[in-house]
Amino acid sequence: MSTKFEINPIKEWLPHINNPLLISGPCSLETEEQTLETAKLLAKDPRVFVYRGGVWKPRTRPGSFEGVGSIGLKWLQLVKKETGLPVGTEVANAQHTEEALKAGLDVLWIGARSTASPFVVQEIADVVKGSDAVVMIKNPVNPDIQLWVGAVERIYQAGIKNIVAIHRGFTPFRDTVFRNYPNWKTVIELRRLIPNLPIICDPSHIAGKREYLFEISQKAFDMGMEGLMIESHIDPSCALSDAAQQLTPADLGKLLDRLVIRHATANNPEFDNRLELLRSRIDVIDSELLEMLASRVEIVKQIGQYKKDNNVTALQINRWSQLMENRVNLGKKLDLNDTFVKILFQLIHEDSVRMQTEIMDKE
């Protein structure tokens, strides 16, 4: 069930925006010179609306560069003064939040590790309560949609209506070329649960490497996201954190030139008519699919009872292996993706075994 929050659209707190929101700047602020030089170059691109810079950098293990600390807030104030760009940074506790608000920062965001802790989110919510802060919330490190929604709720209950979710990917659970697994279905679920919540993508932390930034950025727009947060450094080769995923301002401009921005609707009147016709066909096919699955369930129940009567186990691994091989081969002939077919029948088979074991457990 979706939840209705009175969350402001981005244009409410950023009135001059005329394109998808683009937030850019270094992963970490390192020196005043690096901060300002990067900002001045980014400010020349009208597509950049907010300057970001990490001041406090919580790292997985001690010993890595953990940010310049509070002095970085003064550098962000200089950026705002000299470029006119709104500025923002990540806050990981109540003290960070208090300092950032006192410094007049325009945007605060809660990192993935912090989102995973309701205690930390509540600390931050207590500090921003009663302010007109813009608070962005990255997804938690694991694809736990309830943690993400819960973080949004805590900030919203503090009276904050300028909220944006940031999709930055999740800790990989399988081999992937990306630093963090995109898991787009979790973003779709967040959109379903909170339809009016603006969502932007952080391709830098998903990709981990420059060569994948365009692919992720385009996918984000294809999915209807409202913007991007992309890291940019005046000299990424010298960056003290996440050097491999940062772009120079010039290269960022080239990437943006290539992106195709999608829209929720089209001006063409025929588009809606044609789309509605195709969707109606999908609805009919989905109904047929569910009816066929219901028929399958009835047969599975009969099989479960027959196995019980003959004292045979619910799981028959040879049958399962043969079934999967046959279904994947048939899927190939029908031009279906192997992974899709495997996941689909994994789910179907798991539920079949569940139903059969329930039958066997009954007296």
Give pLDDT tens digits for 304-354: 999 999 999 988 999 999 999 999 999 999 999 999 999 999 999 999 999
Each residue of 141-159: b (16+ CB within 10 Å) or e? bebebebbbbbbbbbbebe
| Token code pair at residue 354 | 């569940």
Q: State the Cα–Cα distance between residues 266 and 132, nearest whole angstrom.
A: 34
| Token code pair at residue 355 | 């139903």
CATH of span 10-258: 3.20.20.70
CATH of span 269-361: 1.20.59.10
pTM: 0.80
Q: State the Cα–Cα distance between residues 30 and 345, nearest whole angstrom.
A: 51
CA distances, 206 to each of 51, 124, 221, 344 (Å):
19, 25, 15, 26
| Token code pair at residue 236 | 């990424």
pLDDT, tens digit only, all 363 positions of the chain:
566 789 999 999 999 998 999 999 999 999 999 999 999 999 999 999 999 999 997 767 777 787 899 999 999 999 999 999 999 999 999 999 999 999 999 999 999 999 999 999 999 999 999 999 999 999 999 999 999 999 999 999 999 999 999 999 999 877 789 999 999 989 999 999 999 999 999 999 999 999 999 999 999 999 889 999 999 999 999 999 999 999 999 999 999 999 998 877 777 777 667 778 788 788 888 888 999 999 999 999 999 999 999 999 988 999 999 999 999 999 999 999 999 999 999 999 999 999 999 998 887
Place of tokens 């984000």: 220
- On the question of a common fold for 10-258 and 269-361, the answer reads no
Strands 199-201 and 162-167: parallel
| Token code pair at residue 358 | 């329930």
Q: With residue 293 as reference, give the H or E element that holds it.
A: helix 269-309
Type of residue at 338: D
Ramachandran angles phi, psi of 51, nearest 5°: -100, 130
Ramachandran angles phi, psi of 339, nearest 5°: -60, -40
Contacts of 219 (CB under 8 A, 6+ apart): 182, 184, 201
Q: What is the DSSP letter of 245?
A: G
Domain borders along the chain are 10-258, 269-361
